[in-house]
């Protein structure tokens, strides 16, 4: 009786481990194929430029951008100056469900 119970428990555990591996495999496949995919392109205008971590050894410059839809986002832009038009690329991140915003000056 106990041996049969142990066999059933081992079979159930094996099924759970197999199902978990299949789900993780599907997620990894989605992440690899979707990495860097451009979802959409928006336009915007740089509202202001600022520096993050100004007192630290590595300061990061960033821009506050107002998109054509009226929402705001913060992105790193090379040679930042207020009033310049930018293209904003909305891309899929490495974890598939996260989103990355990349801004380029027009």
Contact (Cβ atoms closer than 8 angstroms) between residue 32 and residue 91: no
What's the pLDDT at 95? Answer: 73
Query: Phi and psi (nearest 5°) for 13?
Result: -65, -40
Segment 42-72, tens digit of pLDDT: 999 999 988 776 566 566 778 999 999 999 9
Q: What is the pLDDT of residue 57?
A: 59
pLDDT, tens digit (0-9, with 9 covering 90-100), for 78-90? 788 899 999 999 8
pTM of this structure: 0.62
Count of beta carbons in the 10 Å neighbourhood of residue 54: 9
Give how far Cα 38 sits from Cα of 10, 32, 65, 88, 92, Å: 45, 14, 19, 10, 6
Cα-Cα end-to-end distance for the chain: 75
Residue written as tokens 């142990």? 6
């Amino acid at each position: 009786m106990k041996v049969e119970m142990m066999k059933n428990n081992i079979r159930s555990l094996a099924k759970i481990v197999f199902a978990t591996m299949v789900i993780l495999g599907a997620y990894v496949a989605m992440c690899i194929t979707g990495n860097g995919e451009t979802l959409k392109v928006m336009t915007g205008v740089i509202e202001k430029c600022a520096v993050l971590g100004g007192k630290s050894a590595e300061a990061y410059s960033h821009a506050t951008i107002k998109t054509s839809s009226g929402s705001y986002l913060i992105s790193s832009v090379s040679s930042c100056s207020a009033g310049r038009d930018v293209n904003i690329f909305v891309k899929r991140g490495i974890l598939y469900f996260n989103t990355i915003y990349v801004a380029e000056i027009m």
